[in-house]
Amino acid sequence: MTEILRQKLSDSKAARFMVLGVVALTMFCGYYITDVMAPLKPMLESEFGWQSSDYGFFTSAYGWFNVFLVMLILGGIILDKMGVRFTGLGACILMVAGCSLKYYAIAYGSGFEGTILGVNTQVMLASVGFAIFGMGVEIAGITVTKVIVRWFKGHEMALAMGLQVSVARIGTTLALSASFPIAKHFNSVSAPILFGLVLLCIGLIAFLVFSVMDKKLDASMTETNEEKEEPFKVSDILFIVKNRGFWLIAFLCVLFYSAVFPFLKYAVDLMINKYNIEPEFAGNIPAILPFGAILLTPLFGGIYDKKGKGATIMIIGAVLLIIVHSLFAAPVLNYWWFATGLMVLLGIGFSLVPSAMWPSVPKIIPENKLGTAYALIFWVQNWGLMGVPYVIGLVLEKYCITGQRMVDGKAVNMYDYTLPMIIFTCFGILALVVALLLKAEDKKKGYGLELPNIKK
């Protein structure tokens, strides 16, 4: 009995997996709103008169505050200074506030007149709301990642991160497959956003539940007299930015995710324009991608925990990314079944890289600096999440219009997606180069990326 009392709460498998379930629910709610607008692009064009450049501008807003106001880096510093409970709660509140403004802009913005800074008022308000939400969900992301490191260190860390990603991807799947049907059923583009706002409120409540459990972990650590790490200092940022391995992971992150998340923003439109799939069903094929990640990310994370080979897993994922996007760009086999097969393959690649990339960071950076390290990685990633969708929107509007078709009695543009898919392929090639460099750096510095995570 005495031995049990001397254990940390995180030594209980049931307790740490309960925590994982609670924080993963919060991220599920956030990821739904992240991609809720992707299937609605044709409706935005037909109902509100948005152009592809407007949609690209709105999508790029996700990273505005994170990148230009460095709010994500500040969030990481706050995370290391104030802890996961304070930072996570603030992030959840930002998500709810941003989604509320976004909903208001879409629900009531059709009557707005004029422009703000040369941008349609509705587009600008929706974009600002998405920017606030993006700040919140990214800070929530680094917070949940540090929660997992805190609760699973020395245990099933990669598996836990994989499971968290899987639950979050269910949110993406739901957004891609259900947003258009919800909007059509209620005859309102804003209906799926309102549903997401309700989900975010549930996610906020879930994080409050986690906070209670995490406070109990602090108490159990005090009882076991566990030695605490040195507190984070702002000067520790220099330690992080001088680390070559850190930058290789950061660059791999931005290149890989720039070829996946911005692609998802346009994937439904790609299915409609290239593969002639009806809008009501077009979101179901891109939904395969996150669904594949739901099943496979924990599997690959478990392999990394037990067998290692983290750098090799990242290389294989980058190769799959190149194959899929190059085949999407090729003017061949424009059939729904071929697109479905490519999405399955991309889902495998989408599972491989994150399952190994995120658990590798604690092998390079000490735990007391992890919040800032993850924040810096997410900050670099947000340059891609902000810039790439906007560029794709401009490319589509300037170079890829092939004609028009009718949506609900209104004419909307048709597009050739060859050039955008070539751009995504280039990101995959660069990601492969960086993954190879990371494996070489690991061999040189001995980070242990090829070694198992579970300590025997």
pLDDT digits (tens, 9 = 90+) for 420-433: 999 999 999 999 99
CB 313 within 8 A of CB 299: no
Surface-to-core class of residue 376, CB atoms within 10 Å of its CB (0-12 exposed, 13-18 middle, 19+ buried): buried
How do the domains of the chain map onto residue ranges? Answer: 11-222+231-445
Q: What is the pLDDT of residue 230?
A: 61
Could you please state the CATH topology (level 3) that the domain comprising 11-222+231-445 is classified under: Growth Hormone; Chain: A; (1.20.1250)
Residue 405 — φ and ψ, nearest 5°?
Answer: -140, 170
- The arithmetic mean of pLDDT across residues 309-326, rounded, is 93
| CA 278 centroid distance within chain | 27
pLDDT digits (tens, 9 = 90+) for 74-130: 888 888 888 889 999 999 999 999 999 999 999 987 777 788 888 889 999 999 999
Q: Considering only CA atoms, which of 67, 59, 198, 71 is closest in space to residue 129?
A: 59
pLDDT digits (tens, 9 = 90+) for 180-219: 999 999 999 999 999 999 999 998 998 898 898 888 887 7
Q: What is the pLDDT of residue 5?
A: 36
CA distance 354 to 321: 13
From 29-38, 130-139, 360-369, the region with the lowest mean pLDDT? 360-369
Query: Looking at per-residue confidence, does 131 or 83 come out higher?
Result: 131
How high does pLDDT run on average in the chain?
A: 87
pLDDT digits (tens, 9 = 90+) for 252-287: 999 999 999 889 889 989 999 999 888 878 888 888
* Residue 125 one-letter amino acid: L
Q: What is the pLDDT of residue 3?
A: 41
Considering the chain, what percentage of its residues have pLDDT values greater than 90? Answer: 39
Q: What is the pLDDT of residue 4?
A: 40
